Amino acid sequence: MEDNRDRLRRLAMISLHTSPLDQPGIGDAGGMNVYVIELARRLARQGIEVDIFTRATSSALEPVVEAADGVLVRHIHAGPYEGLGKDELPGQLCVFAREVLRAEAAQPVGHYDAVHSHYWLSGQVGALARDRWGVPLVHTMHTMAKVKNEALAIGDTPEPAARIIGEEQVVQAADMLVANTDLEAKQLINLYDACASRVEVIHPGVDLSVFRPHDQARVRDELGLPRDAVVLLFAGRIQPLKAPDVLLRAVAELLRQVPALRSRLVVPVVGGPSGSGLEHPESLAQLSTELGLDGPDGVVRFVPPVAQADLARWCAAATLVAVPSYNESFGLVAAEAQATGTPVVAAAVGGLTTVVRDGHSGLLVEGHEPRDWAAALRRVIEDDELRVRLEVGALEQARQFAWERTAERTLDVYARARALMRESVS
């Protein structure tokens, strides 16, 4: 096969609603931000020039920012900088698309060789760019409305019909679709009538140079955690979908069963409100109070979102990382935690069933009942032999998720998309 780098020189990535420069855990920034920037960096190391188009959210942002060697982030002005929710962004698609096309028009003809869009809003713009530039469109959904609506958290808002229609249009327009897991691929085919031959499963990666084992005693000292503490960590956006409340309710149940554990238990919640969680940003703190988990002898610590290197330290400091989400297309936090050698207790949903190997790198919990979660947490806490086995398995499981492998396979998908487009033209 001809080397991918000879066939692909420049790539346009579209990440409309969230910038790869944003801090994960704040607002809409999360695993997709990490995915976009890490994939772009690895592609650039392969000699591909990557331009990432995203919506400007501040007048202080430079029009073009070099995020890494070979990676430019282009800020597009579309709508007000602040106060625009994700549900209001469809009204800015036209302006955003116009500015993306205008930026490309300022370059020599044939400047980009392919478009890779992320999330359905970006896919709408990517479909227009595909037809205008005559280059293939590769799309990654990251999350899907039909899947989210089938597994809504209590108090969460269903995704609107307009999003479902938009996703269906993107699926039909894309030359190739990248799914994070086999389950996501099946959902694209069964729920969105995607052509199976145009869906490729590529696992996201983990930066194994950042997420790696640390000396637990040292990082606990640095983070102000007692060396002998039982540390149950939640890391992610605070919203119903991610279900941090499930962990708190499980911890309350655990303390009812084992009251003596309170003196050693620490439950850090690392992240900020997002999505429907923005409507009641104080609700998790209120729940903590209602459950008796704060106060002078409280166990819950709320920690603002942190950079990747610091998140790695929090994961390494933890006894386990809890991922109780109602749905995850992949579950990047679980993969990152395992790469530090920390076991994961996760909901048996979506991509988490791929990322976490039940009984080997962590435990999968069916449902979201506090008693079931308390039982799983207690197993890892009290069974030293199990915990050590899971720590070893976590490292082993994480090795299969590397961004370099993700980039290599994505390059192959770009090549297939270009071949398919040539076939359709000839």
| Token couple for 404 | 């370099």
Parallel/antiparallel/unpaired status of strands 114-118 and 137-140 = parallel
Pair 305, 30: CB distance under 8 Å: no
| Residue 262 burial (CB count, 10 A) | 15
What is the three-class DSSP state of 363? strand
Annotated binding site for UDP-N-acetyl-alpha-D-glucosamine: 23-24, 31, 237, 242, 306, 328, 336
C-alpha to C-alpha distance for 145 and 401, rounded to whole angstroms:
26
Annotated binding site for 1D-myo-inositol 3-phosphate: 17, 28-33, 86, 119, 143, 163
Annotated binding site for Mg(2+): 318, 342
- C-alpha 283: how far from chain center: 23
| Token couple for 200 | 């490729």
C-alpha to C-alpha distance for 133 and 135, rounded to whole angstroms:
6
C-alpha to C-alpha distance for 75 and 96, rounded to whole angstroms:
10
C-alpha to C-alpha distance for 331 and 178, rounded to whole angstroms:
16
Q: Where are the beta strands (DSSP E) in 44-184?
A: 49-55, 64-68, 71-76, 114-118, 137-140, 176-179
Rounded to the nearest 10 degrees, the angle between the axes of helix 244-257 and helix 283-290 is 10
Q: Which amino acid is at 336?
A: E
Annotated binding site: 17, 23-24, 28-33, 86, 119, 143, 163, 237, 242, 306, 318, 328, 336, 342
| Token couple for 274 | 């997002």
C-alpha to C-alpha distance for 133 and 351, rounded to whole angstroms:
34
Q: Name the H helices within 193-321.
A: 216-223, 244-257, 283-290, 308-317
| Residue 278 burial (CB count, 10 A) | 15
Give the bridge partners for 390, in sequence order. none
